[in-house]
Every structure is written in C-alpha cells, then in structure tokens.
Structure 1
Amino acid sequence: MAEAEQSRLPGYLHLLRTGELERRADRALEVLRDCVVCPQECRVNRIEGEEGFCRTGLQPRVSSYSPHFGEEPPLVGRYGSGTIFFAGCNMRCEFCQNYTISQCGAGAAVTCEDLAEIMLRLQERRCHNINLVSPSHVVPQILRAVAIAAGSGLSLPLVYNSGGYESVETLRLLEGVIEIYMPDAKYGRDDVAWELSHAPGYTGRMQAALREMHRQVGDLVVGSDGVAERGMIIRHLVLPGNLANSEIVMKFIADEISRDSYVNVMAQYHPAWRAAEGGRSPVLAALQRPITAREYEYAIGCARESGLSRGFP
C-alpha cells in the first residue's frame, strides 16, 4: 500500500494491529462495573444490567442507522454520513428535538457484534464516515464494536457526535480511535445548563472535553473532495433570549481552543418536548418560542468578534 494511502487510514487500524484497541475495549468495559463513563458518575453496575441516568445497561440501544444528508457539508459529501443514533443520553435537555430517542428510549438493544455489523453495512453503502450520535454513555461498547468491525474490514473515519458533556478519562480511551469529534458547546453558564439539561458542572466538563478533543485531532482538515478527514467541528445552538450565553461560548472557543475552529452556529431551535408544555420556571417559559433573526445574528456576531471565521451557518 502506498504511503499516502496508508496515512489516510483511520488510527484504529494501527491500534488493532498492535492489540491496543482490544486492551482499550477491555479497560472501558470494566468501567461499567461501577459506571463513571460520563460526568453523571452514577456508579451503577451496568455489566449486571443496572441502569443509571442514561437508562442504558450493558447493551447499547440503537434507534436507527442510515446514510444521512442533513449533517454539516464536510461530513455529508456525495454519499452521506453513516449515522447511528443511540437511544438514551447523559443529559436531559428540556427542549430536546429527538426526545423520543434520547429520553423515551425508542430503539432496540444490540450486541457489540450487531453494532459492528451496522458499521460494516454503512460502509457497504459508501458512506464517508461512521457518525456515532449520542455516544457518551456507550463508549465501552463502541470500542468493542470497532475492534470487531475493524477486524472484518471497517476502514471509515469515526465521528463522535455528542452533547459535549464528557469525561476526559473516557475521551483518552478514544485517542487514535476517533478521527472527527463533533461536540456541542451548549451553554456558557452552569445554572442554565442545570435547569435546561440537568447536567451538573456542564461548562467546566464541556470546556475540558473540547480541550482534550482538540489535543487529539486538532482543527478540521478537509480533503480535496470537500469531505472531512480529521479534526473537530463544534456545534452551538442559539436559544431564545440568549440563554446559551453565546458570547461566553464563542470567546472560550476562540481564546482556548483555536481561532481556526470550525463552528456551526445553529438556528433550528423550536419548542419541543417539555419546553413546548409551558413554564414551570421563567427560564423554561422563555423557551416557548423560536429564536428571532436578531438573536441569531447576535450569536454570529459574537463568533466574528471573537476572531472565529470557519463554519457558521
């Protein structure tokens, strides 16, 4: 194999050859015995089927998988991003637009062998990558599935598509396995993160996670075909009344991650799940409308004023 072609292969193939991928999967699965895979740190024994905040035991649940064309252009390319939607979540966002999957558990339990087969099917459909949606609570199972799939010919880059509420210790198990990180940077204040997503200490955890992700993969690198090869895409959803504190988030990204960060400032907020039901608090009451054009323009302005220039709409 030519040297240039080898350099494009995902890092997990090297880890597979050295046996490190299996060792990482073994270490990660042991964490499930007293689960601290994510910052909720429930300490339940998921090996024995106990469920914590994420409502997931040993087996991951998959809601759907398919080529997806609604993601960021560098992920979609011509043939789509091979998305796998995991049921359950380590946050409980009051406005979640996928709440039937994240909160109501819509999906079927699968073995790691099944998950590996799903990855291989998406590769057969010529997807440009394997896009793991809401993976934070099932990292050990993903590592095992990748080891199985890589041994059977998987060679696509993996995308880690998460809410940004991560354990750095867990992320370190993914070094060399994930080529593209796509975290949310949801909030600039912990009190809002708690009320809207039930994620204690979100801002500190998110910031530490983005630093670790960027250390591993750097800024987004796009090939001559316009498809992402490696790096990080950061998502930020604009909320009504600037509840997300966009100015804080953008300043952090620019000053402490990179001014070359690719940032998708998203405008698709609409009241969903509990946010559509009405205000149990002033914060929730503020979520009962879509954002305005002015609110979106403010978030874009925050990004530009912070020195960011890649991504946006």
Structure 2
Amino acid sequence: MIFGDKNQMNETDMILHLMEACRLCPRECDVNRLEGKKGFCGVDAKVMVARAALHMWEEPCISGKEGSGAVFFSGCSLGCGFCQNRRISRGQCGKQITIEHLVDIFLNLQEQKANNINLVTAGQFLPQVAEALKRAKAQELHIPVVYNSSGYEKAEMLKMLDGLVDIYLPDFKYMDPELAGKYSHAKDYPQVAKLALEEMVRQVGMPEFDSCGMMKRGVIVRHLLLPGHVKNSKNVLKYLYETYRDKIYISMMNQYTPMPAMKDDPQLSRKVTDREYERLINYAISLGLNNGFIQEGETAKESFIPEFDGEGV
C-alpha cells in the first residue's frame, strides 16, 4: 500500500494522492497510476530502479575518483526520440522496489564511499523519492544528494525536494520550441525548463566546493549539442549565461550517440563534428563564460551507456 487512511495523511501522502490522477510532470496525463495505469512516463506508481552503482562518467566534481552513487530510475516524462537510455526511459526494464528498499540503496552507496547520491531521472517518482530521502537522512545519510534530470519538470513539484537535494544537475535541451516538439513532443520545453531551473537555483543557491574540488551544493546545467543544431545550442548558452552568470555551472556536451531510432533522420543519424563543437565552445568563450565544463576526446560511444542489468538493486 502506497499511502494509508486519507484522514491520517502526512504531507508526502497528500502529494502521492495526486497520482490517482497524475499531474506530477508537465504532461499532466491524469491517469490513475496508483491502480497500475501508466502515463506518458511509462511507469505506474511503484518505484522502479534499473541500476544503482558507483558511476564514473559525470562531471569531475560529481564523480571524483570514488564515483557518484548513481540510482537509475525507470521511466521518463520527456521521452526524447534520440534517447540513448531508451530501455529504461520507456520503463522496459528495472525492478520494482519499496521506499524502504530505496533507503537501503542510498545507505549502501554511502557505505561504498560514493561521493554523493545521484538520482537519475527520478521525476516520475518524486513523492516516493522525497520520502526515501527523509528516511535516509534520519538514518545518517550525510553525503550530498544530486538530482539529475531532463529539466522537463514542474517547478511547483520540485518544491518537494527543498532541503533534501544539495546539487541539481538538469539538462537544458532546447530553446527552440519547434525542435523540442520534433524530437521530444514537448513544444513547451523551453518555458517549462526555465521555470524549473529558476526553482532549482532558488533552493540551493551559489555553487560550493570542498577542498578537493568536489561540489557540495549548487547547480550544473547540462546541454547536449545535437548534430546540425549549433544555433539552438548557442541560444541555450546565451540564455543561461545572461540569466545566471556565476550562479550556475554549464556543462557543454558533445557525446551525442546516434541510436537506431534516428537512422533515417538527416541530421541526428550522425555524430557531432569537431567543427560543430568548436563553434559552440568558441561562442561560450565570446560570451565570457568561465564556470563551465567541456568534453575532450572521443565521447560519442555506446560504451558510455551503462548496463541496466539490475546491479545494486
């Protein structure tokens, strides 16, 4: 049972109750996930996790030498056509677990010396994750908590995480509504992501690092350059820099990996060229952007896609 008597609901129970006609994400499907129905995200109300293990492929200040304690949740409210994690993003693999099991996963990752707990695409389970974090912190979870998302989040729902998340790691994929509609069926993505990011920055404030350079608090916004769409990427960087300056870090990614679903697309059926990425980096420099991360070498390889084999779950 996910929540008890309606007359004895706590705050988390009341939010969970919204899943009877789910409106947690901007899709606002209105389906009863508590009865096992699935919305756009591809999952019902039972928490589903595909992998929980030390992860080395985040930004250096997140992974460090020990690794980030990444918990990959099944399902996704955005569902990009070019997604490299399609098996889990469409809810096709993963293990259903209880909130208490999720607490144990967090604490086990801390025991493995993870630098942080990294919640990867957890938005479809926001109330359950918030409750698990509260319980874990009561059981001495003390490492930072990272919320790693597509950026397609309702700002009012993110308020559930206020005081529970230390680092936000959202994507900001599109400034072009038409592009967002074409590849993610979400023309409202730019406005939704702007409001979500505003709430994230409000919650955690200015970036903070420890003496080893590991991030302890703050926001890193990721932007994945799509082949043939440098203009969209420049507009994303311009908005982020002019709006937030040194309040956030920006991670500019060239690791787009062509997936089978994009084989007939004239642009997304290929990798990003060195020239395209250089143009983006040069533009960032011209803006005056200092708080940023870039990728070097050959990163667009499927070997960077984890095995979603239930490890750690």
TM range (shorter): 0.7 to 0.9
Tell me the residue number matched to 1:85. Answer: 72
Query: Number of aligned pairs?
Result: 286
Separation in 1, partners of 2:231, 2:121:
20
User: What code does the residue aligned with 1:107 have?
Assistant: G
- 1:198 counterpart = 2:185: yes
Does structure 1 retain, via aligned residues, the 8 Å contact 2:59–2:293? no
Which of 151, 166, 170 is the aligned partner of 1:179?
A: 166
The residue aligned with 2:18 is 31
Secondary structure in 1 matching 2:152:
coil
Is residue 234 of structure 1 aligned with residue 215 of structure 2?
Answer: no
TM-score normalised by length of structure 1: 0.87
Alpha-carbon shift at residue 137 of structure 1 (Å): 1.1
Q: Which residue of 2 aligns with 1:117?
A: 104
* Paired amino acid for 1:240: P
Q: Secondary structure at the match of 1:258?
A: helix
Name the SS of the counterpart of 1:271 in structure 2. coil
TM-score normalised over the length of structure 2: 0.87
How big is each residue's C-alpha offset from its partner over 1:72-111, in whole Å with a ceiling of 9 and x where there is no partner?
A: 1111123211000011100111111111111252111111
Secondary structure at the aligned position of 1:241 is classed as: coil
Structural mapping, 1:23-172, within 5 Å: 23-172=10-159
User: Could you say which residue in structure 1 is the equivalent of 2:266?
Assistant: 285
Q: Which deviations, in whole Å up to 9, do the C-alpha atoms of 1:246-283 show, x marking residues without a partner?
A: 111011101112345211100111211411x31xxxxx
- Asked if 1:210 corresponds to 2:197, the answer is yes
Q: Contact 2:134–2:164 (CA<8 Å) still a contact in 1? A: no
**1: distance between equivalents of 2:266 and 2:135?**
47
Instruction: Verify the 8 A CA contact 1:160 1:182 in the aligned structure 2.
Output: yes
Equivalent residue, structure 2, for 1:295: 276
Structure 2 vs 1, CA of residues 153 and 260 (structure 1 numbering), >3 Å: closer, same or farther?
closer
Instruction: Point out 4+ residue stretches in structure 1 off by more than 3 angstroms.
Output: none
Q: Secondary structure at the match of 1:268?
A: coil
What is the CA distance between 1:219 and its match in structure 2?
3.2
Cα distance in 1 for partners of 2:274, 2:130 equals 42
Gaps of 5+ in 2: 1-8, 295-313
What percent identity do the matched residue pairs reach? Answer: 41
What is the CA deviation profile of residues 216-251 of structure 1, one whole-angstrom value per residue up to 9, with x for unaligned ones? 112321111111100001100011111670111011
